[in-house]
Amino acid sequence: MSIRKTFTAAIVATVLASVPAFADYKPLKGDPNEINFGIISTESTSNLREAWEPFLKDMEKALRMKVKPFFASDYAGIIEAMRFGKVHVAWFGNKSAMEAVDRAGAEVFVQEIKANGTQGYYSHILTHVDNKDINSLKDLFAKCNKTLSFGIGDPNSTSGFLVPSYYVFAQNSVDPKSCFKSVRNANHETNLMAVAHKQVHAAANNSEQVARSKKKAPQAAQNIKIIWTSPLIPADPITYRRDLSKGMKAKIKAFFLGYGRLGPDVEKETAILNNLGSGGGGYTDSSNAQLYPIRQLALFKKKLSLLKDKRLDPETRAKRLNDINNKLAELKVLTKSM
Strand order from edge to edge, sheet including 202-206: 182-185, 149-152, 202-206, 123-128, 224-229
4-21 pLDDT, tens per residue? 444 444 444 444 444 444
Of the ranges 7-11, 187-191, 305-309, which one carries the lowest mean pLDDT score?
7-11
Confidence band, pLDDT 50/70/90 cuts, at residue 95: very high
For strand 35-39 and strand 67-71, is the pairing parallel, antiparallel, or unpaired?
parallel
Say whether pLDDT at 37 is over 90.
yes
| pLDDT value for 4 | 44
Residue ranges, CATH 3.40.190.10, the chain = 2-119+235-292, 120-233
What is the domain class of 120-233 according to CATH?
Answer: alpha beta
Say whether pLDDT at 94 is over 80.
yes
Phi, psi of 100 (to 5 degrees): -70, -40
The residue among 129 and 330 whose pLDDT is bigger is 129
How far apart (Å, rounded) are the C-alpha atoms in residues 22 and 302?
19
| pLDDT value for 338 | 65
Torsion angle, alpha carbons of 158, 161, 167, 170, to 10: -140
CATH code of domain 2-119+235-292: 3.40.190.10
| pLDDT value for 20 | 45
Question: Closest Cα to residue 186, out of 206, 203, 198?
Answer: 203
For the segment 126-136, the average pLDDT, to the nearest whole number, is 96
How far apart (Å, rounded) are the C-alpha atoms in residues 107 and 130?
44
The residue among 217 and 278 whose pLDDT is bigger is 217
| pLDDT value for 202 | 97
State the average pLDDT for the chain.
90
How far apart (Å, rounded) are the C-alpha atoms in residues 290 and 269?
25
* b/e burial code for range 247-265 (CB count within 10 A of at least 16 → b): ebbeebbebbbebbeeeee
Confidence band, pLDDT 50/70/90 cuts, at residue 278: low
